[in-house]
Amino acid sequence: MVAAKPLHEGLFSWPTEIPNLIGSQCLDCGEYAFPKQNSCRACSGQNMTSADLGNAGNLWTWTVQSFMPKTPYHTHETQETFTPYGVGYIEMACGLKVESRLRENSPELLKIGMPMKLEIITVRTDDEGSDLLTFQFCAAEEQS
């Protein structure tokens, strides 16, 4: 079995059956943040706690990215094999909007307000053969 590990620690719960995004919440004013912050962007408080943001939300806005991802998000794709991908903001249940790569990459498949779910994908394999994982969102319901 090939080991798999998150590209960046602490963005989502792992390993687990159903990963959730992990952010932070300010204990003083209730403001959420993702990724985790050490101080609150709303009130500048330092009284932060870890917050489970869940694994579902609604598409708030999106665009299709037609440039290759920069390091460290690069994949095994080359300029020749690269396919454009969607990038969007997902509004989570707590109201926080999270920027994410999207599985869908064409305007026909993406509609503002549509339900989205978290999924974990392999970005690339490192030198030791471990899969490096990151998250993206995809449509929560299959589209016909």
Residues near Zn ion (CB under 5 A): 26, 28-29, 31, 40, 42-43, 45
Distance CA 37, CA 46 (A): 9
Distance CA 40, CA 70 (A): 28
Q: For Zn ion, which is the closer residue by CB, 15 or 30?
A: 30
Q: For Zn ion, which is the closer residue by CB, 42 or 112?
A: 42
Least distance from Zn ion to the Cβ atom of residue 65, Å: 32
Least distance from Zn ion to the Cβ atom of residue 93, Å: 19
Q: For Zn ion, which is the closer residue by CB, 40 or 118?
A: 40
Q: For Zn ion, which is the closer residue by CB, 29 or 93?
A: 29
Least distance from Zn ion to the Cβ atom of residue 27, Å: 8
Least distance from Zn ion to the Cβ atom of residue 94, Å: 14
3 state SS for 64-116: EECCCCCCCCCCCCCCCCCCCEEEEEEEECCCCEEEEEECCCCHHHCCCCCEE
Question: Across the strands, what pairs with 141?
Answer: none
